[in-house]
């Protein structure tokens, strides 16, 4: 019985959520202050996306990027957006950004602040445009696919779209070589699949939160998107590929240590559970 009581005390100590949260906090903070430099391998999925952008998109291509995430999701999605923007700008591509979410405006503003170096030699209106918040969810997505200028007449800053050189080059879905959806919600991916890819055949690329990855995987599997970047891990890999290390790669040590901690706790919890079970069976047979 002493074996059983020892296991119960151990379970009580390890089962305390204060201990788990404190250890989790330390496992996140310490690698940030003292990076461990755990190597990051490039997955085939990220490499496929990189090679598509690098080889299949012509120089000077036109890309539409949907910025659809709130500030809380910045850590997972912003590094992806920055790395993709760098890659596209390096290829001389022109980018039209838009947001079907009101919070996309804040997300875009923070993204521009964090990636100020990418926009230094770019001219607003010629190399990139931000359309701002466009109300209307799926109806707006369908309308944008038919005509951007027919849907909205001004950009986020009140400039008339007709006055912006880039917006005279592109107007409808088929004018774009690639559409990238950077989203923290699941629905918006389906909007673009239904309203841009299915009727017009525009290639889509997804950048999603890790938690959303499995939900949108069927679209990628069915060939409705050319690929997807999922969470900080993909961002870290893409940062390595484009040679601009940022938040994605910086978070990888903390991701690894915190996951190791969680796996250790799951293993210990299972070990205690089975030990208690074996111990109680022994006690019962006596």
Task: Show Cβ contacts of residue 64 under 8 Å, excluding neighbours closer than 6 positions.
Answer: 95, 96, 97, 98, 170, 176, 178, 179, 180
Binding mask 239-278 for other proteins (x = CB under 8 A): --------x--xx--xx--xx--x----------------
| Distance between first and last Cα of the chain | 11
Question: Contacting other proteins (CB under 8 A), which of 37, 39, 59, 158?
Answer: 158
Distances (CA, A) of 236 to 28, 64, 97: 17, 22, 22
- Measured in degrees and rounded to the nearest 5, phi and psi for residue 66 equal -90, 120
Using the rule CB under 8 A, give the single segment among 41-49, 122-130, 131-139, 278-286 that binds other proteins: 131-139
The least CB distance from residue 194 to other proteins, in Å, is 4
The 3-state DSSP class for residue 135 equals coil
Q: Using the minimum distance from each CB to other proteins, give the nearer residue, 73 or 167.
A: 73
82 binds other proteins (CB under 8 A): no
Distances (CA, A) of 24 to 172, 175, 261: 48, 48, 7
Distance from C-alpha of 137 to C-alpha of 185, rounded to nearest angstrom: 12
Question: Contacting other proteins (CB under 8 A), which of 35, 60, 165, 214?
Answer: 214
Burial class (CB in 10 A: 0-12, 13-18, 19+), 25: exposed
The least CB distance from residue 44 to other proteins, in Å, is 12
62 binds other proteins (CB under 8 A): no
Residues found near other proteins in the complex (CB under 8 A): 17-18, 21-22, 24-25, 28-29, 32-33, 72-76, 102-103, 105-106, 132-135, 137-139, 142, 152-154, 156, 158, 190, 193-195, 197-199, 209-215, 218, 221-224, 230-233, 247, 250-251, 254-255, 258-259, 262
């Amino acid at each position: 019985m002493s074996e059983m009581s020892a296991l119960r005390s151990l379970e009580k100590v390890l089962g305390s959520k204060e201990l788990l949260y404190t250890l989790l906090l330390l496992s996140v903070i310490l690698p940030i202050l003292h990076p461990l430099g755990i190597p990051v391998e490039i997955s085939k999925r990220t490499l496929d996306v990189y090679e598509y952008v690098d080889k299949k998109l012509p120089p000077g291509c036109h890309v539409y990027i949907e910025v659809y995430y709130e500030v809380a999701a910045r850590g997972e999605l912003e590094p992806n957006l920055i790395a993709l923007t760098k890659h596209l700008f390096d290829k001389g591509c022109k980018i039209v950004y838009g947001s079907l979410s009101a919070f996309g405006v804040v997300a875009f503003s923070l993204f521009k602040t964090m990636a100020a170096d990418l926009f230094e030699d770019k001219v607003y209106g010629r190399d990139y445009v931000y359309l701002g918040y466009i109300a209307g969810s799926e109806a707006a997505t369908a309308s944008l696919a038919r005509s951007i200028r027919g849907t909205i007449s001004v950009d986020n800053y009140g400039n008339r779209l007709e006055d912006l050189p880039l917006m005279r080059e592109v107007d409808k879905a088929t004018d774009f070589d690639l559409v990238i959806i950077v989203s923290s919600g699941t629905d918006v991916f389906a909007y673009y699949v239904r309203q841009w890819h299915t009727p017009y055949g525009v290639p889509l690329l997804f950048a999603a939160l890790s938690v959303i990855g499995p939900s949108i995987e069927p679209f990628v599997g069915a060939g409705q998107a050319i690929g997807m970047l999922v969470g900080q891990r993909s961002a870290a890999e893409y940062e390595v590929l484009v040679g601009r290390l940022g938040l994605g790669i910086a978070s990888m040590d903390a991701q690894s240590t915190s996951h190791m901690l969680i796996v250790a706790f799951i293993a210990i919890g299972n070990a205690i559970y089975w030990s208690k079970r074996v111990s109680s069976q022994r006690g019962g047979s006596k």
